Structure 1
Amino acid sequence: MSVCSLGRVRRRELSPDSLEARKEFSDFLVANLSTAMTQEIARSVKNAVGKIVEMRLNLDDMSELVMSYYQYLSERIGGHAFFNTPDCKVKVEDVMDQVEKYISTCCYSTFFCASHEEEVADVSLQDRIRSLHWVTAGFLETKLVFKKQAVRDRIDEAESELIEINSKKSAFEKLECLTRSCKAIFEALKESEAPTSADEFLPTLIYILFRGNPPLIQSNVKFISRFAIPARLMSGEAAYFFTNLSCALQFVQNMNHESLQMEKSEFEAYTSGQLAPPLSVINSACNQAMYVLEGTIETIASVAEKAKSLAKSLTNMHGNVDDDIQKMLTVIKGTVDFYPTDAYRDMKDSVNRSIIRIFAEFYCAGYSYFLLFRE
């Protein structure tokens, strides 16, 4: 690559995401590697990004080029003796994760959904899912118990994480979103006391796809398969979840009346909107809303019962307080009467004199009226 072309790459305006990715990548290298290794890796990756941006290859050829670079760089830095020293805090795989995040973020506009055909396919899939909105958890024979708030919370979480995939710029981060989504699905199954096997997991993942209809999900899957480090898609939980997501998308694309064990005319009528789906206990979308309402009513009833119990406790406490106050006043009066202070004796004498004066005045007034009426 010529010096002039490198200069053009350096002068290319970077997006905020690319600037942030560059800073994170640089900070990681400086914090974990030697100065020599940091400079070598940074120079190599920067050159790779420059070449990728300049090249005009189709996505499959670009994927092959990027995979070759990952393998080359992994083998090169893996040969450094630094990784065998006590000072080394990271593994080669950790470094390659950061390399992947940096390259895929900086080259995202080149890598992601670059062809018109893929964009059309994504729009078509979203339309397809909209037409199948009537396919609820009951039709897919999931074991989810929507009456439980915890189950509904985990389903919402799984849906949000699946939608969030499209906002991430690296295959690493997209797979993290997918992993969190799938773990939330397993939690929902556990809360429903259902088996957490693949037979239960896949239908629930398909239901989440129908419910969330995540944007550009096919393009995201292709992006991951093309530009994620291959080892990540070959083993581990991320690979398992990614395989299931691919199967779920395939199921949605090929779904027909046989998939749901119903008549073809019935399936087509539901899909076209000519016929409303049956209001059965397991298949009606309304029932899922009713489960939510039932859960809310149960919560309100529980709160009302607790409020009633609290009110009763407060009433009892109020009565006890009155009794305690009366007892306390009796004790105080007895104590003061037995050990009167000068101030208390003066106040008591003053009150007594006032009472005697009032009584005398009242008596005199009464006697005067008596004499008046007698005359």
Structure 2
Amino acid sequence: MWADKQRAIRVSQEELLCKNACGYYGNPAWQGFCSKCWRDRARPAGTPREETRPRSDGTLPTFSKFEEKKNIEKGRRINTVRRLFWGSPSPPKPQESSESRANVLKAYQNLEPGDFPAFLKILRSPPSQRLQSRCTAFLNTMEAYHDLPVQKQSDLVQDFYQSFAEYFSSFPEAQVTQIMEHVEKLIMTRLHKWVFCHDSCDDEQKDLALQRRIRSLNWVTPQMLGVPFPDKTVSVTGDPFLPAITAIIEMDAKRAPQDKLACVTKCSQHVFEALSRSNSEPANADDFLSSLVYVVLKANPPRLHSNMQYVIRFGLPHSLMAGESGYYFTNLSCAVAFIEKLDGPALNLSPEEFDGYMLGQRTPSALNRRQQVVSDTQNLLEELKGRQEKLDQGMDALNAQLQKWVQEVHSQLDETRSQFVLAQKEMTAQKEVSLSTQDDKEQSVVVLEDQHAGPKDTGC
């Protein structure tokens, strides 16, 4: 049962998709476009666009549909990449035998999903020396040119992803995706310290501005956001969204974009779990988005803007454009955009009321928070009182059982002692009877011997 069914945040599924109708998820950071359409729009005029619409069978293209990207953008960036890697317009092209390539591909085909240590082991094996050299050369080059603008670094990383994926063009799409997730983790774990919150962008200033904005909205209550909190009749200890708050805070501690996305996914799943525990009906998109806004306001995650931009710039395209992680990340971006533009009508407040809350003249959350704390404290005290009563009853029962056991032990000892005394008396009596019988026998033997001997010879 929900407390308040009025919703101030409404985003349809169509609004989450790319404005270019390509079938992928859009993002406010790209003005509503997906990452691919946004890069196409940023491409110089006259450059042909890459087909991004869904296939005829309804599936969405991933790496296989990106194969033309390198050829399309060759005139703009390929020479720069070559100079960075090899220092000359024509890089060396070492030949690789078909047998060696087949061995390498066979090793990667047997790779289990999510087994990053096994991927590193295969990459460091002699058959994969060429792939390892490519990764090492790219990492060394990126570290040497770490002062390049962050957008240029993003383009280089995305180009490297695409060129590396082309090596496995014969693999199924799902398998290529798994391999590229390992490659992303390997590359970005090393490059994190060079490209995260780069000096060439204003991510740090935007982080501080977003944190101040969230801090200034600490008075916003779940009721204002339309968050479906459970009624008082539902037994809830503490904030049901606490696991989601913890998960979104953990995002800053991760290095690889996919690990940061995993925190966003984990946070979103906890939000759905919190909603499902209080209502038998499944939560809708408005419930989820309003709850996600509440989680962000409560958590105020460190360097949230920088973390989201890091994922946008250096994450794999398929992770943001489609799938579960893409949906959750798009909702998180919408939640942040909502917070940045939050005003009175969005919270069903008049401009005067909103300004009063922002200036500290109104504090509805303080009273609600105190009432909530008092209610939680009373519930906790009642729970502790009941547990203490059960503990006292258990101790009394245990004490009674212990006393009964002691009495039974004493009675058994007394009975054993009396039986031992009786047994000892019986043994003594039997011993006396036995000794008396033995004496009588000895006397009888002596008498019989005398009778058989007869009168003694005197020698007269």
Tell me which interval the TM-score lies in, with the shorter structure as reference length.
Answer: 0.7 to 0.9
The reply to whether residue 182 of structure 1 matches residue 268 of structure 2 is yes
Shift in CA distance, 76/211, structure 1 to aligned 2, threshold 3 Å? same
Deviation at 1:130, TM superposition (A): 0.7
Checking the alignment, whether the CA contact within 8 Å between 1:134 and 1:285 is kept in structure 2 is no
Query: Of 212, 215, 238, which aligns to 2:299?
Result: 212
Give the corresponding residue for 1:229.
316
Native 8 Å contact 1:150 1:191 kept in 2: no
Letter in 2 for 1:266: E
Partner of 1:320: 404
Note the C-alpha offset of 1:321.
Answer: 2.6
Is 1:40 aligned with 2:130? yes
| Alpha-carbon distance in structure 2 between the residues aligned to 1:77 and 1:243 | 29
Structure-to-structure mapping, 1:247-262, within 5 angstroms: 247-262=334-349
Letter in 1 for 2:372: Q
- 8 Å contact from structure 1 (residues 136, 285) kept in 2: no
Structure 2 CA distance for aligned equivalents of residues 339 and 146 of structure 1: 76
The question of whether the paired residues in 2 share the 8 Å contact of 1:60 and 1:226 is answered with yes
Unaligned runs of 5+ in 1: 7-24, 85-89, 346-375
Query: For residue 133 of structure 1, what is the amino acid of its counterpart?
Result: N
Alignment partner of 1:214: what SS? coil
Number of the residue aligned with 1:134: 219
Name the Cα RMSD after superposition: 3.4
Q: Which has the higher contact order (CA 8 A, sep 6+)?
A: 2
SS at match of 2:364: coil
Partner of 1:96: 180
Moved more, 65-74 or 328-337: 328-337
Determine the C-alpha separation between the residues in 2 that align with 1:216 and 1:3: 32
Q: Is the 8 A contact 1:151 1:192 kept in 2?
A: no
Identity %: 28
Amino acid at match of 1:139: M
Q: Distance in 2 between matches of 1:222 and 1:34?
A: 31
- In structure 2, stretches of 5+ residues that fail to align are 1-82, 89-114, 430-460
Single out whichever of 168-177 and 189-198 deviates more from structure 2.
189-198
Matched, 1:265 2:356: no
Q: Indicate the residue corresponding to 2:80 in structure 1.
A: none
| Alpha-carbon spacing, 1:3–1:222, altered in 2? closer, same or farther (3 Å) | closer
Is the CA contact 1:26–1:42 (under 8 Å) kept in the aligned structure 2?
Answer: no
More moved, 108-117 vs 205-214: 108-117
SS in 2 for 1:77: coil
Range that drifts further, 61-70 or 250-259: 61-70
Tell me which of 250, 271, 275 is aligned to 1:164.
Answer: 250
Cα distance in 2 for residues equivalent to 1:2 and 1:59: 16
User: Which amino acid in the other structure matches residue 207 of structure 2?
Assistant: D
Q: 1:344 to 1:247 in 2, by over 3 A?
A: farther
Preserved CA contact (<8 Å) 2:241 2:271: yes
Residue matched to 2:204: 119
How much does 1:175 deviate?
1.0
Shift of 1:169: 1.7
Amino acid at match of 1:65: L
Alpha-carbon distance between aligned partners in 2 of 1:33 and 1:75, rounded to the nearest angstrom: 16
- How many Å apart are 1:213 and its aligned residue? 0.6
Deviations 1:98-125 (A, max 9, x none): 2112222222244322245322222111
**Does structure 1 residue 294 correspond to structure 2 residue 384?**
no
2:327 to 240, 252, 255: 240
Q: Which amino acid aligns with 2:254?
A: K
Instruction: Count residues in correspondence.
Output: 316
Could you tell me which amino acid in structure 2 is paired with residue 39 of structure 1? Q
Structure showing greater radius of gyration is 2
Question: What letter corresponds to residue 303 of structure 1 in structure 2?
Answer: R
Structure 2 equivalent of residue 15 of structure 1: none
Query: Structure 1 residues 174 and 37, CA, compared in 2 at 3 Å: closer, same or farther?
Result: farther
1:155 aligns with 2:241: yes
Q: Post-superposition shift, 1:40?
A: 1.6
Q: Contact (CA 8 Å) 1:159, 1:181: kept in 2 or not?
A: yes
AA partner of residue 135 (structure 2)? V
Partner of 1:349: none
Q: With structure 2 as the length reference, what TM-score do the two structures score?
A: 0.60
Structure 2 CA distance for aligned equivalents of residues 5 and 70 of structure 1: 21
Q: CA deviation at 1:146?
A: 9.4
Q: Distance in 2 between matches of 1:266 and 1:344?
A: 105
1:137-169 deviation per Cα after TM superposition (whole angstroms, max 9, x unaligned): 232232334988976476333222212212222
Give the direction of change, closer, same or farther, for the CA distance of 1:328–1:274 in structure 2 (3 Å limit). same
Equivalent pair of 1:146/1:152 in contact (CA under 8 Å): no
Distance 1:268 1:316, change over 3 A: same
Q: CA deviation at 1:261?
A: 0.3
Q: Which amino acid aligns with 1:43?
A: S
SS across alignment from 1:176: helix
Provide, for residues 172-202 of structure 1, a one-character-per-residue CA deviation record: whole Å limited to 9, x for no partner. 1111222222222223223334643323222
Aligned pairs for 1:47-58 within 5 A = 47-53=137-143, 54=145, 57-58=148-149
